[in-house]
Amino acid sequence: MTTAPHALAVRAAALDAAAPLGHVRERFLLPDGVVYLDGNSLGPLPASVPPVLDDVVHRQWGTGLIRSWNGHGWWDAPARVGDLVGRLIGAAPGQTLAGDSTSVQLYNALSAAAALRSGRPLMVTDPDHFPTNQYLTDAVARRLGLSVHRVRPTGLPAFLAAEGDQVAVVGYSPVDYRTGELHDMAVLTEAAQRAGALVLWDLSHAAGALPVQVDDLGVDFAVGCGYKFLSGGPGAPAFVYVARRHHADWRPPVTGWNGHADPFGLHEEYVPARGVGRGRIGTPPVLSLLCLEAALSVFDDVDLTQVRAKSLSLTGFFLHCTDVLLGGLGFERVTPPEPERRGSQVSLRHPHAYGLVRALEDRGVIGDMRAPDLLRFGVNALFTTHRDVLEAVTCLREVTAKGAYVSAAQGAGTVT
């Protein structure tokens, strides 16, 4: 065991030397002494953000005042930033919009999708889907008098074979936020649509982390958040994608004045704007939106197939390190070993998950946990190194072997 760490260090160095995108790490202002493996929850600060925000605050808001709605392009920002995200998810321009939270976008998109398949009484979602997706599927179904069936992605084809003609909407995430398991978007999209249902993907854990091709796959709707792999800042605006073929017919229920066909005409009756633009609701949070725009410049000249290749190298090395270093310490590997079934994170199960994550944090290694017993480590190929991975697993080995984890009672209240 004494030679294993050295061999791993040599291997990490070799993998880092061979990996693409090494120069992109400089685009982030990462704090010294920190190994950050929680970019799948909150991306770190891109270097491009502070000067833009400074300009937005002082010159655009402070000096331009109300004139900046046109003079500095604030009014067009939801569409402009949406298209920047669209580029990362394989959406041609004019189908993606940035603004509001993922939850609000989900409510509007799920409602609109279900209404486009009226007469079909079922909505399908994943029992392992992030809670807000489940709550909003239930809320929309209740409102429209539909039922919700919770079906794991692996069981979807069989379920659809039996009851597919009853299904209005299938809403899934390509990446399980707890286990990091990657589902096949092409297979599931095709299965849902073959049954006549519409499909809504939540890309929160996929956008910016791996190549997604919503246009090519014929996805109907997608949403996602701006603050994970897009590094748009805490609570950055979300996005919604609506395939062009639905632009004439989709009807989001939250009809704010920004989504009116003629918003400054101040009409009494709502007439929806053309296309995805009717997904705009109220005035967007401009500071947060322009911060997201600035953050997206880290993707300039970045090839997402390289991002994916490096991400798989990082998670593969992570799993290798856990095999070598964490044996006999009570960990269970949760993330699938097969590359094609892995998102951009590694999850491990351990009864002291909470205390271990806290103990790692005290030593500068930041991951997170999900109740009750999952440790979650996200890699972001734009800045994570194989050396980071080795340092994290080595640290995890130390704190576990020493029993140096913080008990829940000691650390109550720290939840992220």
Give 139 or 324: the residue with its C-beta nearer to a copy of itself: 139
List of residues 6+ apart from 197 with CB closer than 8 A = 117, 120, 124, 160, 164, 167, 168, 169, 170
Is 380 near a copy of itself (CB under 8 A)?
A: no
The beta strands (E) that lie in 175-242 are given as: 198-202, 221-224, 239-242
Closest CA to 193 of 120, 86, 129: 120
Q: Which stretch binds a copy of itself (CB under 8 A): 84-92, 185-193, 235-243, 331-339?
A: 235-243
Residue 260: beta bridge partners? 272
- As measured in angstroms, the least distance from the Cβ of 9 to a copy of itself is 25
Cβ neighbours, 10 Å, residue 329:
14
Q: How far is CA 131 from the centre of its chain?
A: 14
CB of 416 to a copy of itself, least distance (A): 5
Active-site annotation holder among 159, 172, 227, 239:
227
Nearer to a copy of itself, 203 or 217 (CB): 203
Active site residue 172: no
Q: Which residue has the tokens 């039996």?
A: 162
Binding pattern to a copy of itself, positions 133-172, x when CB under 8 A? -xxx-xx---x------x----------------------
Q: Which is nearer to a copy of itself, 73 or 327 (CB)?
A: 73
Residue 385 marked ligand-binding: no
What's the one-letter identity of residue 106? L
Tell which positions 268-297 bind a copy of itself, by CB under 8 A. Answer: 268-270, 281-289, 291
Q: Which is nearer to a copy of itself, 8 or 389 (CB)?
A: 389
Say how many residues touch a copy of itself, by CB under 8 A.
84
Of 61-69, 241-249, 299-307, 338-346, which part binds a copy of itself (CB under 8 A)? 61-69
205 is in an annotated binding site: yes
Do 214 and 225 contact (CB within 8 A), yes or no? Answer: no
- Write the single-letter amino acid at 390: L
Residue 102, annotated ligand binder? yes
The question of whether 159 is a catalytic residue gets the answer no
The reply on whether position 104 binds a copy of itself by CB under 8 A is: yes
- Residue closer to a copy of itself by CB (options 78, 86) is 78
Query: How do beta strands 365-366 and 35-36 pair?
Result: parallel
Active site residue 54: no
Q: Does 261 bind a copy of itself (CB under 8 A)?
A: no
Please name every residue paired with 170 in a beta bridge, in sequence order, or none if there are none.
Answer: 124, 199
CB of 20 to a copy of itself, least distance (A): 25
Tokens linked to 176: 């399980």
Q: Quick one: which of 4, 18, 31, 92 contacts a copy of itself (CB under 8 A)?
A: 31
Enumerate residues 206-225 that contact a copy of itself by CB under 8 A.
225
Residue 385 engages a copy of itself in binding (rule: CB under 8 A): no
- Judged by beta carbon, residue 156 or residue 217, the one nearer a copy of itself is 156
Residues 394, 396, 400, 403, CA torsion sign: positive
* β-pair type (147-150, 122-125): parallel
Torsion of CA 321, 327, 332, 336, to 10 degrees: 40
Vertex 169 angle, CA 168 and 171, to 5°: 165
Edge-to-edge strand order for the sheet containing 332-333?
332-333, 345-349, 374-378, 368-370
User: Is 118 labelled as part of a ligand binding site?
Assistant: no
Nearer to a copy of itself, 265 or 328 (CB): 265
Q: Is 257 annotated as a binding residue?
A: yes
Catalytic-labelled residue, pool 117, 120, 228, 342: 228
Residue 355, CA distances (Å) to 15, 285, 360, 411 in order: 31, 36, 9, 8
Judged by CB under 8 A, which stretch of 19-27, 132-140, 392-400, 401-409 contacts a copy of itself? 132-140
For 171, the enclosing helix (H) or strand (E) is: strand 167-172
Among 119, 145, 328, 413, binds a copy of itself (CB under 8 A): 413
Active site residue 227: yes
Q: Which of 100, 202, 368, 388 is catalytic?
A: 202
What is the spatial distance between Cα 294 and Cα 304, in angstroms, rounded to a whole number?
Answer: 19
Residue 250 CB partners (closer than 8 Å, separation 6+): 112, 113, 116, 242, 278
228 given a catalytic annotation: yes
Shortest spacing between CB 276 and a copy of itself, in angstroms: 17
Residues with a catalytic annotation lie at 130, 202, 227-228, 376
> Residues forming the annotated binding site?
102-103, 202, 205, 227, 257, 283
